[in-house]
A and B are shown apart, each in its own frame.
Chain A
C-alpha cells in the first residue's frame, strides 16, 4: 500500500555539522507534511511542518524542503548539536480528518561531540 518512508535508517554526524534527513512519500494527494523528533521513551515532538503549496519552510536551525515532483521531503538541521540526537519521523496528512497522520520509518540521528 501507499506509505511514507525514509531513505536512511541511521545518520551519524559531528557536532556543528549540518544534517539532512530524507523522506519519500507515495501519495500525491497528501497536502500536509510534518517532521517529528522522538527521544527515547517520549512522545513525538513537532519540529516543523509544510503544506503542499510550499517548497520550503524555515524554522529555528531547521529547514524543510518539499519536492512534489519526485515526492520527496527533507529536513535540514543546521549546526547539529548533541541534543538533536533522536529518531526523526516524517509524517503526511492525506486529507480528511485534520490529523490522521501516516508516519514514515524513523531515522536515528546520532550527533558525535
Chain B
C-alpha cells in the first residue's frame, strides 16, 4: 500500500540558508500534518492543513512557512536556518474524519 512519502530523506544546510521539505500524502488523504523531532525528544506539532487550507498551528517559528498544494502535497519552507533547527521532520496524512494518521519516514535536517 502507498505510504506517506517525504523528500529528501537527508538534508545538510549551512546556517542562514533555506531549506524546502516535501511531503506527499497517501492518495485520497486530505489532511497533512508536520512535526519536528529533536534528538531524543518527542515529536512537536508544527502545522496542519486540510483541503489546502491551514487548519491548525503549533510551535512553528516565524522563519518557517508551509502550504498544501492542489494535488495535496505539502511543502515546509525553512529560512534563516539555525543550528537548533537540526532535527527530524515528519509529515503525517489522514482523512479528516478518520482516527488514524500515517507518518512518513521523515527528513533528517542537519544545519552546520
Chain A residues with CB under 8 A of B44: 103
Asked if B24 is at the interface of the complex by the 8 Å CB criterion, the answer is no
Shortest CB-to-CB span from B9 to chain A, Å, is 9
Digit string of A77-113 for contact with B (CB within 8 Å is 1, else 0)?
A: 0000000000001000000111111111110000000
Size of the A side of the interface (Cβ < 8 Å), in residues, is 21
Cβ contact within 8 Å between B105 and A99: no
For residue A93, which residue of chain B has the nearest CB? B99
Chain A residues with CB under 8 A of B19: none
CA distance A99 to B44 in the complex (A): 12
For this complex, 28 residue pairs linking A to B, each with C-beta atoms less than 8 Å apart, are: A36-B103, A41-B106, A42-B105, A43-B92, A43-B106, A44-B90, A45-B103, A46-B101, A49-B99, A49-B100, A89-B43, A97-B48, A97-B55, A98-B31, A98-B94, A98-B96, A98-B97, A99-B33, A99-B48, A99-B94, A100-B33, A100-B45, A100-B56, A100-B58, A102-B45, A103-B42, A103-B43, A103-B44
B interface residues (Cβ-Cβ under 8 A, vs A): 4, 31, 33, 42-45, 48, 50, 55-56, 58, 90, 92, 94, 96-106, 108
